[in-house]
Chain A
Amino acid sequence: MTGLAFLIPIALGMGLFGLAAFMWAMRSGQYEDMEGAANRILIDDEEDAP
Chain B
Amino acid sequence: MNVPALLVDIGEEAAARRTTRFTVPGIKCAGCIGKIERDLPKREGILSARVNFSAKRVAIEHTPETSEDALIAALEAIGFEAQAVADNPMGTETGERRMLMRALGVAGFGMMNVMLLSVSVWAGAQGATRELFHWLSALIALPVIAYSGRPFFASAWMALKHRRTNMDVPISIGVVLATALSLYETATGGAHAYFESAVMLLFFLLAGRALDAVMRDRTRAGIGALLGRMGKSASVIGEDGTARRIEAGDLEPGMLALVAAGEALAADGVIEEGSSTLDNAMLTGESVPETIAPGDTVHAGAINLAAPIRMRLTQTADDTALAEIARLMDEAGQSRSSYVRIADRASRLYAPVVHALAALAFVGWMMAGAGWHQSLVIAIAVLIITCPCAMGLAVPTAQVVASGALLKRGLLVKDGSALERLAEVDVAVFDKTGTLTMGEPTPRIDLLDDEARRVALGLAQHSRHPLSRGLAAALSEVGVEPAKIDKVQEVSGQGLLGTWNGVEVALERSSGGVDNGGGAELSARLRIGIRAKTLVFSDALRSDARATIGALAEQGIAASILSGDNAVAVAQVAKQLGLPSRAAANPKDKLKALEVLKAKGALPLMVGDGLNDGPALAAAHASIAPGTASDASQQAADAVFIGRALMPVALAIKAARATMRIVRQNFVLAIGYNALAVPLALFGYVTPLIAAIAMSLSSLIVVANSLRLARVAGSAETVA
Closest residue of chain A to B120 (Cβ to Cβ) is: A4
Closest residue of chain B to A48 (Cβ to Cβ) is: B38
Contacting residues, chain A, for B51 (C-beta < 8 A): 33, 36
Contacting residues, chain B, for A4 (C-beta < 8 A): 129, 132
Contacting residues, chain B, for A43 (C-beta < 8 A): 30-31, 33-34
Chain A stretch 16-42: residues in CB contact (< 8 A) with chain B: 16, 18-19, 22-23, 26, 28-29, 31-36, 39-42
Contacting residues, chain B, for A22 (C-beta < 8 A): 105, 108
Contacting residues, chain A, for B2 (C-beta < 8 A): 29, 32
* A1 CA to B132 CA, complexed, in Å: 11
Interface contact B98-A36, CB-CB below 8 Å: no
Contacting residues, chain A, for B140 (C-beta < 8 A): 12
B112 at the A interface (CB under 8 A):
yes
Interface contact B109-A19, CB-CB below 8 Å: yes
B52 at the A interface (CB under 8 A):
yes
Looking at A16, A28, A29, A39, which has the most chain B CB atoms within 10 Å of its CB? A39
Interface contact A36-B105, CB-CB below 8 Å: no
Contacting residues, chain B, for A31 (C-beta < 8 A): 101
Interface contact A34-B3, CB-CB below 8 Å: no
Interface contact A33-B106, CB-CB below 8 Å: no
B136 at the A interface (CB under 8 A):
yes
Contact of B136 among A8, A15, A36 (CB under 8 A): A8
Min CB distance B5 to A, Å, is: 9
Interface contact B54-A34, CB-CB below 8 Å: yes
* A18 CA to B38 CA, complexed, in Å: 35
Interface contact B54-A15, CB-CB below 8 Å: no
- A-contact bits for B111-141, CB 8 A (1 contact / 0 none): 0110010000000000001001000100010
**In the complex, which range does the number of interface residues on chain A fall in?**
20 to 34
* A18 CA to B3 CA, complexed, in Å: 24
Interface contact B109-A16, CB-CB below 8 Å: yes
Contact of A39 among B29, B55, B105 (CB under 8 A): B29
* A34 CA to B38 CA, complexed, in Å: 20
B464 at the A interface (CB under 8 A):
no
Min CB distance A21 to B, Å, is: 10
* A18 CA to B132 CA, complexed, in Å: 24
B592 at the A interface (CB under 8 A):
no
Known A-B contacts A11-B113, A16-B109, A39-B33; A32 and B52 likewise in contact (beta carbons under 8 Å)? yes
Contact of A44 among B6, B34, B52, B106 (CB under 8 A): B34
Interface contact A33-B52, CB-CB below 8 Å: yes
Interface contact A36-B116, CB-CB below 8 Å: no
Chain B stretch 261-299: residues in CB contact (< 8 A) with chain A: none
* A47 CA to B39 CA, complexed, in Å: 11
* A35 CA to B33 CA, complexed, in Å: 11
Contact of A26 among B29, B31, B98, B116 (CB under 8 A): B98
Interface contact B116-A42, CB-CB below 8 Å: no
Interface size on B, residues (CB 8 A): 28
Closest residue of chain B to A7 (Cβ to Cβ) is: B116
Closest residue of chain A to B39 (Cβ to Cβ) is: A47
Interface contact A35-B102, CB-CB below 8 Å: no
Interface contact A23-B30, CB-CB below 8 Å: no
Contacting residues, chain A, for B108 (C-beta < 8 A): 19, 22
Interface contact B55-A33, CB-CB below 8 Å: yes
B53 at the A interface (CB under 8 A):
yes
Interface contact B112-A15, CB-CB below 8 Å: yes
Interface contact A33-B53, CB-CB below 8 Å: yes
Interface contact B34-A36, CB-CB below 8 Å: no
* A16 CA to B144 CA, complexed, in Å: 12
* A43 CA to B35 CA, complexed, in Å: 9
Contacting residues, chain A, for B136 (C-beta < 8 A): 8
Interface contact A19-B105, CB-CB below 8 Å: yes
* A35 CA to B31 CA, complexed, in Å: 14
* A18 CA to B108 CA, complexed, in Å: 10
Contacting residues, chain B, for A47 (C-beta < 8 A): 38
Interface contact B106-A40, CB-CB below 8 Å: no
- A-contact bits for B189-222, CB 8 A (1 contact / 0 none): 0000000000000000000000000000000000
* A16 CA to B166 CA, complexed, in Å: 33
Known A-B contacts A18-B109, A29-B2; A11 and B116 likewise in contact (beta carbons under 8 Å)? yes
Closest residue of chain B to A42 (Cβ to Cβ) is: B30
* A48 CA to B489 CA, complexed, in Å: 41
Min CB distance B220 to A, Å, is: 14
Interface contact A26-B102, CB-CB below 8 Å: yes
Contacting residues, chain A, for B113 (C-beta < 8 A): 11-12, 15
Min CB distance A25 to B, Å, is: 10
Interface contact A29-B3, CB-CB below 8 Å: yes
Closest residue of chain A to B51 (Cβ to Cβ) is: A36
Contacting residues, chain B, for A11 (C-beta < 8 A): 113, 116
Min CB distance A26 to B, Å, is: 6
* A4 CA to B116 CA, complexed, in Å: 12
Contacting residues, chain B, for A36 (C-beta < 8 A): 33, 51-54
Min CB distance A33 to B, Å, is: 5
Contacting residues, chain A, for B29 (C-beta < 8 A): 39, 42
* A21 CA to B140 CA, complexed, in Å: 19
Min CB distance B235 to A, Å, is: 36
Min CB distance A36 to B, Å, is: 3
Known A-B contacts A11-B113, A33-B53, A36-B53; A23 and B105 likewise in contact (beta carbons under 8 Å)? yes
Known A-B contacts A26-B102, A33-B55, A35-B53; A1 and B109 likewise in contact (beta carbons under 8 Å)? no
* A8 CA to B29 CA, complexed, in Å: 48
* A41 CA to B392 CA, complexed, in Å: 36
Interface contact B112-A40, CB-CB below 8 Å: no
* A43 CA to B33 CA, complexed, in Å: 8
* A33 CA to B7 CA, complexed, in Å: 14
* A41 CA to B412 CA, complexed, in Å: 26
Cβ-closest 7 pairs across A and B: A36-B53, A42-B30, A43-B34, A39-B30, A19-B109, A32-B2, A22-B105
- Given A35-B54, A41-B30, A47-B38, 18 more pairs with CB closer than 8 A: A12-B140, A15-B109, A15-B112, A16-B109, A22-B108, A26-B101, A26-B105, A28-B6, A29-B6, A31-B101, A32-B6, A32-B52, A33-B3, A33-B51, A33-B52, A33-B55, A42-B29, A43-B31
A contacts, CB < 8 Å to B: 1, 4, 8, 11-12, 15-16, 18-19, 22-23, 26, 28-29, 31-36, 39-45, 47-48
26 contacts between A and B (CB under 8 A): A4-B129, A12-B113, A15-B109, A16-B109, A18-B109, A19-B106, A19-B109, A23-B102, A26-B98, A26-B101, A26-B105, A29-B2, A29-B3, A32-B3, A32-B52, A33-B53, A33-B54, A33-B55, A36-B51, A39-B29, A39-B33, A40-B33, A41-B30, A42-B31, A43-B33, A48-B38
